[in-house]
Structure formats: C-alpha cells, structure tokens
C-alpha cells in the first residue's frame, strides 16, 4: 500500500509539473506574439489610427510633391507627413503605390493615409475622408514651344492629350470633345511623350509643370489655367481620430512656421 501511494503521489506531481510547464510555454508564446514578434512592430490594422507606425501611400512621380532621389522617396508631401508623424508620436513607413491604386489600398486597410498631390473631388469624398487643404493647385496645358497650333483650351478638340492615369487632369481631358486621351503611369512619362511629339499637348498640375519646364525648355505652359483645385491628405472613411490629428498637425505647422519652411524648401517661396 505504501509503495502504491508513493507512485500515486509521483504521478500526481508529474501531472502538476506538466500542467505548469504548459502554462509557462503558453504565456511565453503570448508575450512573444504581442511584444517581441517582428510582426508586432508593423501595422496589422492600417487605418485604425491607433498604430505606432503611420503608413503613408504615395506615387513618387510628381515632383516636387513626391519623387525619388536614388532609392529614397522625397518631396513636399513626404516632409509634411514626416512632421505629422512627429506631432502624433508615430514612426513613418512609406509605401510606393501607383496613383490609381492609392484609394483602393486605403479602403483595403493597407495604408493609413495618402499624400500624393491628391485633389479633393466629390467622387473621392465617397471613398475617403480628407484633411483641411494644404495646397491649392491649378491645371495647366503644356505644349511644344515651336510647331504647335494650340493656343487655348478650345484648340484641344480632337487632339492627342497626355495625362497621368487617375488624376484630375485625366478627368478634365476626357471632357474635351473628340480628344484622344493618352493615359500614362507618371507625369515624367507624359513629359517624355510630349517632348517626343507623340502627343500634341499635356495637362498636369502647375507644381510638377514648373519643375519639368525648368529642365525641358522646348516645352511651354499656356498662361490660362484649366481649373483650380485643393490638395488634401486622404484618410480611411470613419477614422475620425486620425483625421483630427492630421488637421491639428497641419494647423500647428502653419502657426509655428514649419509649413512656410517646407514651402520655401520645395518651391523657393515663403508661402503659396
């Protein structure tokens, strides 16, 4: 009986130790998954406004707002969002996405916000929240300096017009009667097509237009604007917390001078 009792105690102790070991392993796994796992430092639910990392979506073919220096994405929009990340105590992660894929990426939760020289339009408001305006742009018609017979927007009827796919320039061009709209992935590609005379004219925002005209003296911007429009930062629908933080940061930058410094850095003037 005594030997049987000792065996029972030994078995009970082994069961208890096994249970305790399982609890320790489970707690260790939970701690790894939440605190130490590499995945824990990335945004799993982009768009919630609660992440430590702010995930920015942009298309770096829109100088001076976003473009590449070597492998690094830089520009006015990028610096603006870096300041927003600092103000909201977040790190910044930049995702390069084609312009026409930015809003779908935002809706899918792959990114938290978009800063890509994006104009606020009624259609876009259906799919995203927008911050306060941070830049007012104008759409310009660009033509070759020599050999072109296009002097006004009326002369675009029936012409080949180059635009960046998914932009407001794309929308405007499709409203021109008889126009053959050539949609390209970047503003740089549009300029290249125009310089090669494969299109008759281009429509683009005035900021990038000034940058490209400075290095392409064979091209010319018509004096009259096609339209004026506001740029804002797009945020996932329903994310009112992040929207309020972004608006507060933009307002703070305009008050304390950081906004003016960024404008001067990228546009060469103190305030637009």
Confidence of residue 97 (pLDDT cuts 50, 70, 90): very high
CATH topology of domain 138-229: D-Maltodextrin-Binding Protein; domain 2 (3.40.190)
The phi and psi torsions of 77 (rounded to 5 degrees) equal -60, -40
Output the pLDDT for position 244. 98
CATH topology of domain 53-134+232-267: D-Maltodextrin-Binding Protein; domain 2 (3.40.190)
Helix (H) or strand (E) holding 201: strand 201-205
Residue with tokens 């927008």: 130
**Predicted structure pTM score:** 0.71
Number of H helices, E strands in the chain: 9, 13
Cβ pair 85, 124 in contact under 8 A: no
The answer to whether domain 53-134+232-267 and domain 138-229 are alike in fold is yes
Q: Is 202 helix (H, G, I), strand (E, B) or coil?
A: strand
Q: Each residue of 33-92: pLDDT tens digit? A: 433 333 333 333 344 444 589 999 999 989 899 999 999 999 999 999 999 999 999 999
C-alpha 85/C-alpha 130 separation (Å) is: 17
Q: Each residue of 162-177: pLDDT tens digit? A: 999 999 999 999 999 9
pLDDT over 60 at 270, yes or no: no
CA 228: distance to chain centroid? Answer: 21
Output the pLDDT for position 20. 53
Q: Which of 148-164 are b and which e, b meaning 16 or more Cβ less than 10 Å from the residue's Cβ?
A: bebeebebbeebbbbbb
Locate the domains of the chain by residue range.
Answer: 53-134+232-267, 138-229
Instruction: Give me 66's structure tokens.
Output: 């976003």
Output the pLDDT for position 211. 87
């Amino acid at each position: 009986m005594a030997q049987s009792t000792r065996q029972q105690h030994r078995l009970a102790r082994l069961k208890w130790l096994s249970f305790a070991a399982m609890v320790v392993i489970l707690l260790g796994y939970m701690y790894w998954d939440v605190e130490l796992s590499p995945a824990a430092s990335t945004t799993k639910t982009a768009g919630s406004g609660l992440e430590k990392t702010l995930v920015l979506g942009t298309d770096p073919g829109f100088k001076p707002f976003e473009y590449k220096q070597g492998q690094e994405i830089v520009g006015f929009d990028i610096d603006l969002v870096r300041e927003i990340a600092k103000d909201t105590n977040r790190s910044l992660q930049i995702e390069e996405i084609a312009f026409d894929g930015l809003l779908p990426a935002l809706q899918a939760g792959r990114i938290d916000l978009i800063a890509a020289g994006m104009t606020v339009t009624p259609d876009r408001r259906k799919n995203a929240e927008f911050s306060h305006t941070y830049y007012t742009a104008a759409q310009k018609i660009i033509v070759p300096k020599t050999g072109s017979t296009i002097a006004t927007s009326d002369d675009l009827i029936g012409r080949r017009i180059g635009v960046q796919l998914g932009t407001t320039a794309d929308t405007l061009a499709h409203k021109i009667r008889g126009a053959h709209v050539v949609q390209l992935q970047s503003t740089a590609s549009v300029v290249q097509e125009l310089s090669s005379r494969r299109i008759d004219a281009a429509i683009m925002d005035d900021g990038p237009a000034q940058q490209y005209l400075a290095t392409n003296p064979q091209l010319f911007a018509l004096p009259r604007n096609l339209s004026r429009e506001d740029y804002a930062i797009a945020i996932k629908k329903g994310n009112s917390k992040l929207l309020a933080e972004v608006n507060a940061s933009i307002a703070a930058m305009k008050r304390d001078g950081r906004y003016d410094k960024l404008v001067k850095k990228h546009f060469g003037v103190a305030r637009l």
